[in-house]
Amino acid sequence: MSDIDTAVADSLKVLDLKRPIREADVSGTIRGRAGLVVDNALAYVTGGAAWADVEQTGIEFNNNVFSPSLGAPTGTTANRSGMLWGGVIGAGVEFALSNNWIVGGEFLHTIYRDRDANIVTAAGGNACASPFFAHPNCVVRNQLTTDVARVRVSYKFGQ
């Protein structure tokens, strides 16, 4: 996963959202695969679409060294959740041990589209607002990537 370093200066206060929490409880892929068979082995590449239900959560902590509440949450957050779509590529190999037993492994790399989470105060206002300038794009941009290595054993019934 990528590191996010976002800082918005406002007098002595700095919004520091490092490594916001990104959590995907449910995800899936729709893939095709093409490969080469040699004896009882199949080597293949795979690719297609990926989706995940992702929750993004970022919390601001007071890092003003002159404040008695140093290190405490300020109430400013950057949260967003919902479905993300992306792409997946990978490669794998399978070996037929017999007519019924197959062992294999694969590696998948998935990258999902960028998504912004608005940075808001505890009252719901724009955390980057200032009396001197308007800042409508007060967001944390995040991109989720995943890598999966999988080993499997399969049994074919009816043979």
pLDDT in tens, the chain (159 residues): 333 333 333 333 344 454 455 667 788 999 999 999 999 999 999 999 999 988 877 777 777 788 888 878 777 777 778 898 999 999 999 999 999 999 999 999 999 998 877 787 777 777 777 667 666 667 777 788 899 999 999 999 986
Instruction: Give yes or no for a contact between 105 and 151, defined as CB atoms under 8 angstroms apart.
Output: yes
Q: What is the pLDDT of residue 158?
A: 84
Q: What is the pLDDT of residue 131?
A: 65
Measure the CA–CA gap between 49 and 39, rounded to whole angstroms: 31
Side chain identity at residue 66, one-letter code: F
- Angle in degrees, CA 25, 28, 34, rounded to 5: 155
Coil/strand/helix, residue 127 = coil
Side chain identity at residue 159, one-letter code: Q
Global pTM reads 0.69
Q: What is the pLDDT of residue 1?
A: 33
Q: From residue 83, how far is each of 27, 87, 108, 115 by CA, in Å?
A: 9, 14, 20, 10
* Burial class of residue 120 in the structure, from the number of CB atoms within 10 Å of its CB (0-12 exposed, 13-18 middle, 19+ buried): middle
Measure the CA–CA gap between 29 and 82, rounded to whole angstroms: 16
* Burial class of residue 65 in the structure, from the number of CB atoms within 10 Å of its CB (0-12 exposed, 13-18 middle, 19+ buried): exposed
Instruction: Give yes or no for a contact between 103 and 72, defined as CB atoms under 8 angstroms apart.
Output: no
Domain ranges of the chain: 22-56+79-155
Q: What is the pLDDT of residue 104?
A: 98
